[in-house]
Amino acid sequence: MEKMKKIIYPGTFDPITNGHLDIADKASKLFDELIFVVANNPDKNPLFNVEERMEMIRRSTTHLSNTCVESTSILTVDFAKENTALAIIRGLRHVSDFEYEFQMAMMNYQMAPEITTIFMMPNEKYVHLNSSVLKDIAKLKGDVSEYVPEYVLEQLLSKLNS
């Protein structure tokens, strides 16, 4: 039997947005399984804890049958190897993303040449979106309902009002 082709989608996902989901929708169609890997990195001072971020991803991906959600504190390439993933998916929005993403992809390539980093661009609607901008707008009571699934919106509003 042919081996399952897995891809991992690492990120902070604080919280997951429709931009992340746009990439996940497309990448999950190209592989047998897509694993969201939530970074357990307290240095980034996330608004949501790891379990909250994982639950928001789970609830936002019920329409995708071949995805699952994990968290990790180890190197992305080590996680990929341990889970027999072939590739890492990352989103690219602007040229400004490119420098950082290119550096990381090259470092990962040095550490694990057998793992391929794949980049995808989102629908242009989400090109300016990231979790930080989303949180900034929501904090100032702006309407972000177009940019996140309903459950995430509820969690965001309840966290910011608590």
Q: Among 62-70, 77-85, 107-115, 128-136, which window interacts with ligand ADP (CB under 6 A)?
A: 128-136
Rounded least distance, CB 73 to ligand ADP, Å: 13
- 4: which residues sit within 8 A by CB, 6+ positions away? 32, 33, 84
Stretch that binds ligand ADP, among 13-21, 60-68, 108-116, 154-162 (CB under 6 A): 13-21
- Alpha-carbon span 49 to 7, nearest angstrom: 24
Contact 17, 148 (CB under 8 A): yes
Q: How many residues make contact with ligand ADP (CB under 6 A)?
A: 16
- 130 contributes a contact to ligand ADP by CB under 6 A: yes
**Should residue 35 be labelled a site residue for ligand ADP when binding is judged by CB under 6 A?**
no
CB neighbours of residue 118 within 10 Å: 15
Distance CA 27, CA 34 (A): 7
Of 129 and 144, nearer to ligand ADP (C-beta) is 129
CB 22 within 8 A of CB 126: yes
The footprint of ligand ADP (CB under 6 A) covers 11-13, 17, 19-20, 23, 90-91, 93, 97, 122, 126, 129-131
